[in-house]
Amino acid sequence: MSIGNTLKKYFSNHAETAEAHFDPSLRTHYYKTTKDKALAMLENYFSNHTAYEVNAISKEHGELSVNRTKGKKAFIVATVIMVRPFHTAIDFSVTTESVMPFDLGYSSKLIGQLYEKANMELPLIDVKNRRA
C-alpha cells in the first residue's frame, strides 16, 4: 500500500470495497450462497443489532441501506450480487458522520467488522482479486 493510499484510508470519512482494492482488507468477499440468503443474513443482523437501523431494502437490486446510530454514526450500503449459482459477492460502502472531514480509518474498520460477521454466518469462498 502506497503512502498516498494509506493517507487516503485514514484521512477520509468514506471507505468502500472493490474487487481489486489496494487494501486487501477492503476487497470484495465471495460466499457460497444465494443472493437472497446473503441479503436475508445481512437484514437479520442489522435488524437485530441495537446499533443499527435499516433504512431500505431492495431485494431485486440486492441492496440494503443502514444507519449506524450508536457510537460513531455512519451510513452503510451493502450490495449483494450473485455472480453465478451459489457464488455471491458482498460489497460495503461506509460513510462516517463526523465534525472533521476524516474518521482515522473508522469506515474501513467497520467494513472489516461487517465482513467478520458475514464470514461467521456464510461459507466464504475467497477474497482474491477477481477478473471478469
Domains of the chain: 3-126 (3.30.530.20)
- Tallying the residues shown for the chain, one arrives at 132
pTM: 0.89
Render each residue's pLDDT in the chain as its tens digit; 132 residues.
455 455 566 668 889 999 988 888 899 999 999 999 999 999 999 999 999 999 999 999 999 999 999 989 999 999 999 999 999 999 999 999 877 777 888 999 999 999 999 999 999 998 865 443
> For residues 100 and 47, is the Cβ–Cβ distance under 8 A?
no
With cell 458522520, the residue in question is: 97
Give the bridge partners for 27, in sequence order: 18
Distance CA 72, CA 98 (A): 8
Q: Which helix (H) or strand (E) holds 8?
A: helix 3-10
Q: Which three cell numbers stand for residue 57?
A: 431494502
